[in-house]
Amino acid sequence: MDLFHSSGHFSETSVPASSSDREAADEADCHQNLIRFLQVAQVLGVPLLPLAWDPALESVGREGSTAHINQSTLNAEFTFAFKRFKPHTTRNDVSEGEFRQMQYDAAIAEMTVLSHRTIRRHPNIVTFVGAGFEMSPVSDEVWPVLVSTKADLGDLYTFLSTRTPLHVESLVAICKEIASGIQVMHHCGVIHGDLKPTNILVEDVKDTDNIQVKVTDFGFSCFQAAQNSDLKVARTQPWEAPEWHSRHFSIADAKAMDIYSFGLLCLWILFRHEKLVVLGVPLVTLDEAFLSKDAAVTAKVQSLKKRADNSMLSCALGLVSNAIGIDDEYGSRLRRLFNLTLCSDPEQRAQTLDDLIPILAVSGQEDEAGMR
Which are the contacts of 43, defined by CB distance < 8 A and separation ≥ 6?
Answer: 1, 3
Helices (H), the chain: 19-44, 96-115, 117-120, 156-162, 168-187, 251-271, 286-290, 295-306, 311-322, 328-339, 357-360
Together in a domain, 59 and 120: yes
What are the Cα distances from residue 315, in Å, to 283, 300, 310, 337? 16, 13, 9, 13
Together in a domain, 131 and 165: no
Whether the Cβ atoms of residue 150 and residue 80 lie closer than 8 Å to each other: yes
Together in a domain, 188 and 102: no
CA dihedral 241, 125, 212, 164 (to 10 degrees): 40
Helix axis angle, 251-271 to 168-187, nearest 10°: 170
Reply yes or no on whether the pLDDT at 341 is more than 90: yes
H, E, C per residue of 88-141 = CCCCCCCCHHHHHHHHHHHHHHHHHHHHCHHHHCCCCECCEEEEEEEECCCCCC
For residue 257, which of 182, 337, 200, 180 has the smallest C-alpha distance? 182
CA distance 291 to 289: 6
365 found inside a domain: no
Whether the Cβ atoms of residue 286 and residue 276 lie closer than 8 Å to each other: yes
Together in a domain, 194 and 45: no
Domain boundary among 85, 120, 149: 149
Report how many domains make up the chain: 2
Query: Tens digit of pLDDT for each residue in 279-331?
Result: 666 668 999 999 988 888 888 899 989 988 999 999 999 999 999 889 999 99
Mapping DSSP to helix (H, G, I), strand (E, B) and coil, where does residue 209 land?
coil
State which residues form the domain around 355: 156-360
pLDDT in the model for residue 18: 54
Does the global pTM surpass 0.85? no
Together in a domain, 233 and 277: yes
Query: Tens digit of pLDDT for each residue in 41-99?
Result: 999 999 998 866 565 555 444 444 444 445 444 444 457 888 887 766 667 777 878 88
Together in a domain, 138 and 224: no
Q: What is the DSSP secondary structure assignment for residue 165, as one 8-state letter?
A: P
How many other CB atoms are found less than 10 A from the CB of residue 322?
10
Burial class of residue 248 (count of CB atoms within 10 Å of its CB; 0-12, 13-18, 19+): middle
Comparing 318 with 233, which gets the higher pLDDT?
A: 318
Domain boundary among 149, 171, 189: 149
Give me the mean pLDDT over the 256-268 stretch: 97
Together in a domain, 132 and 249: no
Together in a domain, 339 and 233: yes
